[in-house]
Amino acid sequence: MQLSPAERDYLYDSLCLQTPIRPDARNLYQFRPLEAKTTFLPGSNGSARLRMVDGGECIVSIKSKVVKNESVNSLLECDIDIQGHRDDSNFVSNLKYNLTNLLTKNFPFDALRLTKKYSFKLFIDCIVISHTSYPLTIISLATYLALKTTRLPLLVSEIDDEEVEEQPTFSDDWEDSRLLHEITGQTFQPPIMITVGVIGKNLLFDPSLEEEQVLENGLIISFYNNKAITPISNMNLALNANKDNYKGIDQSLIISAINMVNKYCSAVIHALDTLIEQDDEVDGTIF
Nearest to 30 by CA among 246, 249, 203: 203
Binding mask 11-50 vs other proteins (x if CB under 8 A, - otherwise)? ------------------------------xxxx------
Task: CB nearer to other proteins: give 55 or 186.
Answer: 55
Task: Report the residue from 15, 39, 58, 61 that binds other proteins according to the rule CB under 8 A.
Answer: 61
Task: CB nearer to other proteins: give 136 or 203.
Answer: 136
CA distance 280 to 90: 38
Q: Which 8-state DSSP code applies to residue 69? A: G
DSSP line for 41-64: -TTSSEEEEEEETTS-EEEEEEEE
Tell me how far, at minimum, the Cβ of 55 lies from other proteins, in Å: 3
CA distance 259 to 255: 6
Q: How many residues bind other proteins (CB under 8 A)?
A: 24
Task: CB nearer to other proteins: give 87 or 110.
Answer: 87
Q: Which 8-state DSSP code applies to residue 18? A: S
Q: How many CB atoms lie within 10 A of CB 29?
A: 17
| 250 sits near other proteins (criterion: CB under 8 A) | no
Nearest to 76 by CA among 137, 120, 38: 120
| 59 sits near other proteins (criterion: CB under 8 A) | yes
| 79 sits near other proteins (criterion: CB under 8 A) | yes
Under 8 Å CB-to-CB from 144, ≥6 apart: which residues? 189, 190, 192, 269, 272
Task: CB nearer to other proteins: give 86 or 105.
Answer: 86
Task: CB nearer to other proteins: give 77 or 158.
Answer: 77
Pairing between strand 76-82 and 118-130?
A: parallel
Please, what's the b/e burial string for 81-96 (b: 16 or more CB within 10 A of its CB; e: otherwise)? ebeebeeeeeebeebb
| 241 sits near other proteins (criterion: CB under 8 A) | no
Task: CB nearer to other proteins: give 64 or 222.
Answer: 64
Residue 120 C-alpha from the chain's centroid: 21
| 127 sits near other proteins (criterion: CB under 8 A) | yes
Task: Report the residue from 27, 65, 69, 247 that binds other proteins according to the rule CB under 8 A.
Answer: 65
DSSP line for 98-118: HHHHHHHHS--GGGGB-SSSE
Binding mask 254-273 vs other proteins (x if CB under 8 A, - otherwise)? --------------------
| 129 sits near other proteins (criterion: CB under 8 A) | yes
| 239 sits near other proteins (criterion: CB under 8 A) | no
Binding positions for other proteins, rule: CB under 8 A: 41-44, 53-57, 59, 61, 63, 65, 79, 81, 83, 87, 123, 125, 127, 129-130, 286-287
